[in-house]
């Protein structure tokens, strides 16, 4: 009892929860999914194996993995009428706006997987969302550049298929670069789940009312869009371009330290990590691999690495334990792959969908779960007498 309100034993109703999916030790920079370290998963597993792990709690054996992959592949196409949505958007609509609209609208098509009381429908909606997010995302990109939508290709892996739908065109065969497909797969793994972050908490809160999973994931996409959260990867690249040259870094670091200046170093700091974000390490290594494979010399990478070096030695950042997070290097990789900034957070949403839906499923299947009802500390006028307008 805090003197303000009694602690509610049914703590799920205050937005906090128990979970067995992801463990983070922010002080030690540890991230594990169902007990497996993110470094191991990023290096040794593929994204669909991690999806299986997050949903079922175990890494799949070969037969389980092949069946899961086949099941997901069978859901990669979207209802043909969903194509009509895109024509209703402006060509210059932000792709995250299209994702919010299109994913929410999936509940207008897939009525056979919106009954959350049915375990099979819960699973089918999870498979549909994991399978269709890359298709919906690639369609948003194609629409923005006036190119025809590309259908999924069942002969390709999840990440190969995503790249083919993004960059393939009907007039010629698209050859997927295996190094880029592996890099994309690893990036999806790094973004797959992250415990009770803002967007996952949004999905849980929306789902606690019994809303259908497509609507809940659309709510998660909306929350992820913010620059303090998933929108940071897009904001990092804008910041690196604004800095422009390593000689300008000290000025920006000073701006970030100035409490009167709203500027923050995008891609730095974290609500939980007070040590290096383990995902950022893998992302930086992937960044070097992709730029080497594509033979890209990006001066923004030089700016990013020098910014990290300077910030890591700066007393303010050391004292406040501010390190690069998952978003710091991802944008440089996406840029090298030819993905526009406006699509960076969309890729984060594609990856995070499995985390959202695994956490949603865990909550729905928890018999003690109640509708979410975060508490407040009321600090307003407790009671006042009404005044007629002439007396106000
Ligand atoms: C993601 O929660 C998750 O798990 C999210 C995520 C996921 O996978 O779902 O990890 C993904 O959202 C990563 C974060 C991406 N956002 C950014 O990179 C935006 C830039 N970062 C900041 O906006 C900030 O670090 C936050 C929003 C991420 C965290 O902000 P907090 O909660 O204020 O961080 P804090 O409490 O640790 O801050 C301690 C101090 C504060 O100053 P004081 O009040 O002590 O004086 O450090 C300051 C902050 O103002 N600070 C920064 C800073 N981040 C924090 N100062 C300058 N630059 C920064 N980037």
Percent of the chain with pLDDT over 90: 92
Q: pTM for the whole thing?
A: 0.93
Answer whether residue 45 shows pLDDT above 80. yes
Nearest CA to ligand 1 atom 20: 266
pLDDT of residue 14: 55
Mutate to test the pocket of ligand 1, among 260, 267, 269, 279 (most ligand atoms within 8 A of CB): 269
Q: Is the pLDDT of residue 321 over 70?
A: yes
The confidence band for 12, taking pLDDT boundaries of 50, 70 and 90, is very low
Query: In this predicted structure, what is the pLDDT of residue 354?
Result: 98
What's 97-138 look like in SS3?
Answer: HHHHHHHHHHHHCCHHHCCCCCHHHHHHHHHHHHHHHHHHHH
Mean pLDDT throughout 26-39? 96
Residue having the nearest C-alpha atom to atom 32 of ligand 1: 271
Ligand 1 midpoint to CA 30 (Å):
17
Q: What is the mean pLDDT of the chain?
A: 94
Q: Over the stretch 160-188, which tens digit does the pLDDT of each residue have? A: 999 999 999 999 999 999 999 999 999 99
The interface predicted TM-score (ipTM) is: 0.93
Query: Rounded CA gap, 133 and 347, in Å?
Result: 9
Give the distance (Å) from ligand 1 centre to CA of residue 266: 9
pLDDT exceeds cutoff 50 at 2 = no
- Beta-bridged to residue 36, according to DSSP, are 33
Q: How far is the CA of 322 from the centre of ligand 1 (A)?
A: 8
Question: Residues enclosing ligand 1, CB less than 6 A?
Answer: 194, 197, 228-229, 232, 256, 264-272, 320, 322, 325-327
Maximal C-alpha separation, the chain: 77
Question: Any idea what the Cα angle at residue 108 is, between residues 106 and 111, rounded to 5°?
Answer: 90
Q: What amino acid positions are annotated as catalytic residues? A: 270, 327
Q: Ligand 1 mean position to 376 CA, how many Å?
A: 23
Identify the pLDDT of residue 13. 52
For the stretch 226-251, pLDDT in tens is: 999 999 999 999 999 999 999 999 99
Strand ranges across the sheet with 36-37: 22-25, 30-33, 36-37
Least confident of 48-57, 347-356, 367-376: 367-376
Segment 362-389 shows an average pLDDT of 94
Query: Averaged over 98-109, what is the pLDDT?
Result: 96
Which of 270, 325, 345, 356 maximizes ligand 1 atoms within 8 Å of its Cβ, making it the mutation to test the pocket? 270
* Cα–Cα dist 328/298, whole Å: 15
Confidence grade of residue 279 (pLDDT, cut at 50, 70, 90): very high
């Amino acid at each position: 009892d805090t003197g303000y309100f009694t602690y509610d034993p049914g703590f799920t109703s205050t937005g906090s929860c128990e979970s067995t999916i992801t463990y983070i030790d922010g002080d030690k920079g540890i991230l594990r999914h169902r007990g497996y370290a993110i470094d191991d998963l990023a290096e040794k597993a593929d994204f669909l194996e991690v999806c299986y792990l997050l949903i079922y709690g175990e890494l799949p054996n070969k037969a389980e993995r092949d069946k899961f992959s086949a099941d997901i592949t069978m859901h990669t196409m979207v209802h043909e009428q969903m194509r009509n949505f895109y024509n209703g958007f402006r060509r210059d609509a932000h792709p995250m706006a299209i994702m919010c609209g299109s994913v929410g609208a999936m509940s207008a098509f897939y009525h056979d997987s919106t009954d959350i009381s049915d375990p099979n429908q819960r699973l089918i909606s999870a498979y549909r969302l994991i399978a269709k997010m890359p298709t919906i995302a690639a369609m948003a990109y194609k629409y923005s550049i006036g190119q025809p939508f590309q259908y999924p290709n069942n002969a390709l892996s999840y990440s190969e298929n995503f790249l083919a739908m993004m960059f393939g065109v009907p007039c010629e065969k698209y050859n997927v670069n295996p190094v880029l497909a592996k890099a994309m797969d690893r990036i999806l793994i790094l973004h797959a789940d992250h415990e009770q972050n803002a967007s996952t908490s949004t999905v849980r809160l929306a789902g606690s009312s019994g809303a259908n999973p497509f609507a809940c994931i659309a709510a998660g996409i909306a929350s992820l869009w913010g620059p303090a959260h998933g929108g940071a990867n897009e904001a990092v690249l804008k910041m690196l371009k604004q800095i422009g040259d390593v000689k300008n870094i000290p000025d920006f670091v000073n701006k970030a330290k100035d409490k009167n200046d709203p500027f923050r170093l995008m891609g730095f700091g974290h609500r939980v990590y007070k040590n290096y974000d383990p995902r950022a390490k893998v992302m930086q290594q992937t960044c070097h691999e992709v730029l080497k494979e594509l033979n890209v010399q990006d001066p923004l990478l030089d700016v990013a690495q020098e910014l990290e070096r300077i910030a890591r030695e700066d007393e303010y950042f050391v004292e406040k334990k501010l390190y690069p997070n998952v978003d710091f290097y991802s944008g440089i990789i996406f840029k090298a792959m030819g993905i526009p900034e406006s699509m960076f957070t969309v890729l984060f949403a594609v990856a995070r969908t499995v985390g959202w839906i695994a956490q949603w499923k865990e909550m729905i299947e928890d018999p003690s779960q109640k509708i979410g009802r975060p508490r407040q500390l009321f600090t307003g006028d407790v009671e006042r007498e009404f005044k007629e307008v002439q007396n106000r």
